[in-house]
Amino acid sequence: MLISLETNDTLKIIFTHKDVKSVMKIALMFENSQAAKNPIILNELESVALPLEHSVFNVGMNSESDHHLTYVHLGIMAGILLNAKAVDFVFAGCGTGQGAMMSLNAHDGVFCGYCIDPSDAFLFNQVNNGNALALPFAKGFGWGAELNARYIFEKALTGERGAGYPVERREPQVQNASILTQVKSALVNRSYVDSLKNLDQELVKTAVSGERFQACLFENGQDQDLIDYVKSLLA
């Protein structure tokens, strides 16, 4: 979940109240190389998220014939949705998951981890408490892969976030998460819209051209400047 923090005490309060019962809007995004697996992963995500009353938005490619996206586009999409507060959490993926992770982490306000098994998801939830996870959908995707994905989603979406692991390490872990947020913010000297305008605009336009992405952003987004910028690209 995107958080703006000024003090470590504020961070602790937010973590304390962000538990399993918090309802979230979750985005799932696939790029072209693994798009055929989207229905499998979407089914597993919804089987976990919907009973918890979370909303799931399938904003990337849902088949090989869908709007063409690369992992570079996924980073732009995640950055826009999270910064606009249209969603609270993003699951993204590519063949290895590494490209998606690097692309998402290039954007201000996005804190993306790398996850290959349920213990990764659990520790990311407890220790790092970011707002996105990148998964590999080709490497290691064999027999029982859908079960692994389901258990990853269960660990990522349940339990008290930022509780620490082991629990006696909670205070320094919370402090380090706060410092990382401040460091990333300090390295950005422009608004997120201005950052996007500094990119190749055709690249950004391709990233935001999907109908499901647009519906998610326009119906749930809370940053009007960011929404207006995206609409200007599509005009």
CATH number at 129 reads 3.40.1400.10
pLDDT single digits (tens) 155-185:
999 988 888 888 888 898 888 888 888 888 8
Distances in whole angstroms, Cα of residue 62 to Cα of each of 6, 18, 154: 39, 30, 22
Evaluate whether residue 55 is within a structural domain: yes
Sign, CA dihedral 124-125-130-132, equals positive
- Which residue type is seen at 83? N
Evaluate whether residue 2 is within a structural domain: no
Question: Do the bridges between strand 112-114 and strand 55-58 make them parallel or antiparallel, or are there none, so unpaired?
Answer: unpaired
* Residue 30 pLDDT level (bands cut at 50, 70, 90): very high
Evaluate whether residue 1 is within a structural domain: no
Evaluate whether residue 179 is within a structural domain: yes
pLDDT single digits (tens) 41-66:
999 999 999 999 999 999 999 999 99
Evaluate whether residue 83 is within a structural domain: yes
Number of domains comprising the chain: 1
* Residue 186 pLDDT level (bands cut at 50, 70, 90): confident
pLDDT single digits (tens) 100-124:
999 999 999 999 999 999 999 999 9
Task: End-to-end CA distance of the chain: give it in Å, rounded.
Answer: 30
Evaluate whether residue 67 is within a structural domain: yes
The Cα 112–Cα 94 span in angstroms is 14
The Cα 117–Cα 147 span in angstroms is 10
Domain range for 153: 8-234
Evaluate whether residue 146 is within a structural domain: yes
The Cα 71–Cα 191 span in angstroms is 23
Q: Is 217 helix (H, G, I), strand (E, B) or coil?
A: helix
* Residue 16 pLDDT level (bands cut at 50, 70, 90): very low
Residue reference for tokens 């923090």:
5
Evaluate whether residue 3 is within a structural domain: no
The Cα 206–Cα 186 span in angstroms is 29
Half-sphere exposure of 135 (CA within 13 A, CB side): 28
